[in-house]
Amino acid sequence: MIEKFFSQLLGWDYSTQRSSADGGIFGHIRAYYGTAEFTEHGQLHGHFLIWLDGDLNPSDVHARMKANPEWQQQFFDFFEDIIKHHLPDTDDELLPDRELHSERPPHPDNTDFEHEFNADVKLLGEQVQRHDNPCRKNVCFKYGSTECRFGYPHDIIEKSYFDESANAVILKCLDPLINYHNPTILAFCRHNHDLKCILSGKSVKAAMFYISDYITKNDEKMHQVLSMLCSAVTAVLPQGSEKTSREHARTLLHKCLAARIRAQNIHTQQAAMYLHGSSDGMCTHTTIPMLSSAVITFLAKSLVHSVQLPDDCTAAGETKSKEDDCSDHGDVPLAKSRAGLLRLAQVEAPANPPTHSTGPPLL
């Protein structure tokens, strides 16, 4: 299903692993990365980042917005065409018992396709894209939030504009309770979705944390995990056994892991997906999993070469000790603490940068 979405709507060619010649509804795409999860009802729920071919970084977008009004208008025309914050203005009314998400979309070959398409988007959008007013307490006010955590109702924006003082691109919003969406995706996928254009470093960081949170999401609450671990520890308390402390620690670890695994619940669909060799992640590029220790090792060997440090060979906030003696490191002085290493790798420019690097992939 995901492959059909990317091949038929977004124009991704899986045989060549690149965008097709004609592209898709967003134009040509360069890459995508996504994670999938299952809702409490066993329905597939995904989060995707999509890179458009020819995209600019946020700083370049802001610079062109300021320098070229014609380019700014072309930018707004493009994004207002693919991302909507309102529904078509039609006279169609939604019948109470009609479940549009289970109906087929209008066929593009129909003689009156445009009218049928707009009517379908209007009715389906009312059913699946309109935010509840008032908000649902169990969804909008999770995690102790006192206001709708999705920010509804949104502010009405009659016309897209660029706020130079804040370097912010504000897209048109004509209905404060409708999710940002694409009409074609809505009509042919028949499900709610939220579509956003990421145009700032802050937005990129938020999206990265959001998807990373879903990758590492723990289904059990903290009090449930602590209760399981408490039971496991109680079960292996020493009762006159002859085990060494090392053997006892190993047994305790095994008990804790077993208790954690026994309490893990997954949907049948999810189990079937794992048994077929599929994973929760979907992406266009191959990446190499790297643990934090591997990243630190890579930085120590590849990025930190000969750095001019103060005479005491310490980073900010550190105190020189015998173990931190510069002579121990030869031509590659390293601060032993993690904070010091980060300072050397990110703040201090290497005096002799490497001519080439076989570093980690861009994740």
Q: How confident is the model at residue 342 (pLDDT cuts 50, 70, 90)?
A: very low
Look at 143 and 309; give whichever has higher pLDDT: 143
Highest mean predicted confidence (pLDDT) among 49-63, 136-150, 238-252, 260-274: 49-63
List, in sequence order, every residue forming a beta bridge with 31; answer none if it has no partner. 51
**Quick one: pLDDT at residue 165?**
85
Look at 326 and 210; give whichever has higher pLDDT: 210
Look at 187 and 217; give whichever has higher pLDDT: 187
- The owner of tokens 């703040």 is 347
Give φ, ψ of 303 to 5 degrees: -100, -30
**Quick one: pLDDT at residue 168?**
84
Biggest CA–CA distance in the chain, Å, is: 85
DSSP calls for 69-123: HHHHHHHHHHHHHH-BSS---------TT--GGGSPPPPTTSTTHHHHHHHHHHH
Highest mean predicted confidence (pLDDT) among 68-82, 249-263, 265-279, 306-320: 68-82
Kindly state the helix (H) or strand (E) to which residue 174 belongs, with its residue range.
none
∠ CA 340-342-346, nearest 5°, is 125
- Identify the CA nearest to 86 among candidates 206, 173, 205, 152: 173
Kindly state the helix (H) or strand (E) to which residue 237 belongs, with its residue range.
none
Window from 111-125, 138-152, 299-313, 340-354 with minimum mean pLDDT? 340-354
Cα–Cα distance list, 264 to 39, 145, 276, 352 (Å): 15, 28, 20, 50
User: Can you give the residue ranges of every domain in the chain?
Assistant: 2-87+129-215, 222-264, 292-346
**Quick one: pLDDT at residue 113?**
93
What does the alpha-carbon distance between residue 202 and residue 168 come to, in Å, rounded to a whole number? 11
**Quick one: pLDDT at residue 33?**
84
Residues 6+ apart with CB under 8 A from 20: 11, 12, 13
Residue 117 pLDDT > 90: yes
106: preceding bond cis by omega (within 30 degrees): no
**Quick one: pLDDT at residue 280?**
74
SS3 content of the chain, % helix, strand, coil (to 5): 40, 10, 50
| pTM summary value | 0.67
What does the alpha-carbon distance between residue 18 and residue 284 come to, in Å, rounded to a whole number? 8
Q: How confident is the model at residue 238 (pLDDT cuts 50, 70, 90)?
A: low
**Quick one: pLDDT at residue 86?**
93
Asked if 37 and 269 count as a contact pair (C-beta separation under 8 A), the reply is no
Q: How confident is the model at residue 121 (pLDDT cuts 50, 70, 90)?
A: very high
**Quick one: pLDDT at residue 54?**
82
Kind of pairing between the strands at 29-38 and 161-163:
unpaired
Q: How confident is the model at residue 74 (pLDDT cuts 50, 70, 90)?
A: very high
Q: What is the mean pLDDT of residues 165-189?
A: 91
Residue 317 pLDDT > 60: no
Q: How confident is the model at residue 300 (pLDDT cuts 50, 70, 90)?
A: confident
Look at 238 and 294; give whichever has higher pLDDT: 294
**And the tokens for 110?**
């129909």
pLDDT averaged over every residue in the chain:
75
Residue 172 pLDDT > 80: yes
